[in-house]
Structure 1
Amino acid sequence: MATTSVTGPFAGRVALVTGASSGLGEATALEFARRGAAVVLAARREDRCEALASRIVAAGGEALHVRADVARAADVEAMVAATLRRFGRLDCAVNNAGVAGPMRTPLADVDEAQWDAVMGVNLKGVWLCMKHEIPAMLVSGGGAIVNVASIYGLKPSDVGHGPYATSKHGVVGLSRSAATDYGQMSLRINAVAPGFTRSEMVDPRRPGGAEHYGRMVARHCALNRLGEAEEAARAIVWLCSAEASYVNGAVLSVDGGSATRMY
């Protein structure tokens, strides 16, 4: 069972984060741990999750790392089972694991394998996670789930990114539908739609990256800068907190505001 020796607003609570090996997932896991939650770190790169778990434990927190490919039902089922074996409950889940898929590729040039790979992780993976997380949460009386969508879940891709945008639109619909199904059972389900946020996918240090992302933020972000993973993580953790107790079925944009204007 989760211990109660750790202090903070999430003390005694258990949070599961997928895609926790880097970027937004790593930042979210650390934010939960800072606020007292026991954290389950799930990703395909087990070594990265193991290192993050060691950091959390060294800082006085509790963490479990689990290797999981969210596109595989057996992995997801085992991930939730491992959480319950170790901590006895599940209170919060952040379904963040995702892949970029092909870019600068017109839709008819995307091949079937590319399409299936993106949908398998970004959309089916979120559904599989909720399928197993929801029953575990209901046993404990409810909880909170946040699914990570994208600004491209709210508008068309303008970078030849059709499969990704389609999958993230699906995450928005899936989140809102699940929120309706389970809200009356004290289980809140929301989504976040991050803008361009520093990560392994969005790395301005790559050759040509600074110019590329400079153009992108000028087009998409009123603050005219990249987001930081910690900024989105704080929004995610807030959605899981008691402070967001009446927020359900929402899609929270964390993108610096729209840059669309006529002047």
Structure 2
Amino acid sequence: MEAAAQADPRVAVVTGAGSGIGRAVALELLAADWSVALAGRRVEALEETASLARAKDGAALCVRTDVTRPEDVAALFDAARARFGRLDLLFNNAGTFGPGGVPVEELSYEAWRSVVDTNLNGAFLCAQAAFRQMKEQDPQGGRIINNGSISAHTPRPNSAAYTATKHALTGLTKSLSLDGRPYRIAVGQIDIGNAATDMTERMQSGILQANGQLANEPVMAVADVARTVRHMAELPLEANVQFATVMATNMPYIGRG
């Protein structure tokens, strides 16, 4: 059932909007007449996303943002507020897997720190900025959707940094969800498995399984993820999808390991 249309344009910030899941979600929202601040480290990729959207003029705002830098995050939310006036949704999507296939005993601290800074610290900084704005604006409230992962539930081999951050993100989601209740801030998480993006190309050429074998894995269309995020985003604030798992039906998740 579709959520009721709002008279005023709805406003979203989407991080990691220059590619993959972030781009797909931004395009889905723009097609549904949302105004969207597109955040990412590469302006040219953000501008490509905006050019792909069939949206009204001025609905897409591209803001170069490194979510690991507090000053960049502050500038992002300042820019979105200056352009659009309020914030209804943060899709906290920016993330990195880090060096793939590296055993934990060989994982450098620099690589570990890079994953933690992006996936966890970056998500916190963006959620904090969104929380502050949603609490202060009138009408009060909004929604934050964190991009978790199947790895928020169970790991792949040699994925200590990524898996640790995604488990931590689940704790952040729960805590923000509780703290947001008095201010009409709804917080949920989408855990995604094998959406077809550049990050998952290796799934179809063989990826290490828990039994030590390599296996091809099925993927699903990234547009299916985007539609799910939009559904979560367009619910009234009195309703919340706390956790959603969207995955390729036949991927080795149930029974992994």
Aligned to 2:16: 19
CA–CA distance in structure 2, aligned partners of residues 236 and 111 of structure 1:
34
C-alpha change, 1:261 and 1:22, in structure 2 (3 Å) is closer
Contact 1:238/1:244, CA 8 A, preserved across alignment: no
Aligned to 1:260: 254
Structure-to-structure mapping, 1:200-211, within 5 angstroms: 200-204=198-202, 210-211=204-205
CA–CA distance in structure 1, aligned partners of residues 231 and 7 of structure 2:
11
- SS state at 2:201 partner: coil
**Which amino acid in 2 is paired with 1:98?**
G
CA–CA distance in structure 2, aligned partners of residues 37 and 72 of structure 1:
27
Deviation at 1:68, TM superposition (A): 0.1
**Which amino acid in 2 is paired with 1:173?**
G
Deviation at 1:63, TM superposition (A): 0.6
Alignment equivalent of 1:95, drawn from 92, 96, 102: 92
Contact 1:192/1:253, CA 8 A, preserved across alignment: yes
**Which amino acid in 1 is paired with 2:25?**
T
Matched, 1:39 2:36: yes
Of the structure 1 ranges 47-56 and 141-150, higher mean CA displacement relative to structure 2 is found in 47-56
Aligned to 2:60: 63
**Partner deviation per Cα, 1:112-135 (whole Å, 9 max, x = no partner):** 101100000000000000111111
Aligned to 1:227: 220
Alignment equivalent of 2:239, drawn from 235, 238, 246: 246
Deviation at 1:187, TM superposition (A): 0.6
Aligned to 1:172: 170
**Which amino acid in 2 is paired with 1:211?**
S
Aligned to 2:206: 212
C-alpha change, 1:75 and 1:261, in structure 2 (3 Å) is closer
What TM-score do the two structures reach when normalised by structure 1?
0.85
Aligned to 1:195: 193
Deviation at 1:9, TM superposition (A): 5.6
Question: Percent identity of the aligned residues?
Answer: 30
**Which amino acid in 2 is paired with 1:254?**
V
C-alpha change, 1:22 and 1:10, in structure 2 (3 Å) is farther
Deviation at 1:235, TM superposition (A): 1.2
Contact 1:19/1:96, CA 8 A, preserved across alignment: yes
C-alpha change, 1:9 and 1:194, in structure 2 (3 Å) is farther
**Partner deviation per Cα, 1:29-60 (whole Å, 9 max, x = no partner):** 0111111100110000110111222333x543
C-alpha change, 1:239 and 1:10, in structure 2 (3 Å) is farther
Structure-to-structure mapping, 1:131-142, within 5 angstroms: 131-138=128-135, 139-140=137-138, 141-142=140-141
What TM-score do the two structures reach when normalised by structure 2?
0.87
**Which amino acid in 2 is paired with 1:212?**
G
Count of paired positions: 243
Structure-to-structure mapping, 1:47-196, within 5 angstroms: 47-56=44-53, 59-60=55-56, 62-138=59-135, 139-140=137-138, 141-155=140-154, 157-196=155-194
Of the structure 1 ranges 182-191 and 20-29, higher mean CA displacement relative to structure 2 is found in 182-191
- SS state at 2:117 partner: helix
CA–CA distance in structure 2, aligned partners of residues 183 and 107 of structure 1:
39
CA–CA distance in structure 2, aligned partners of residues 69 and 164 of structure 1:
18
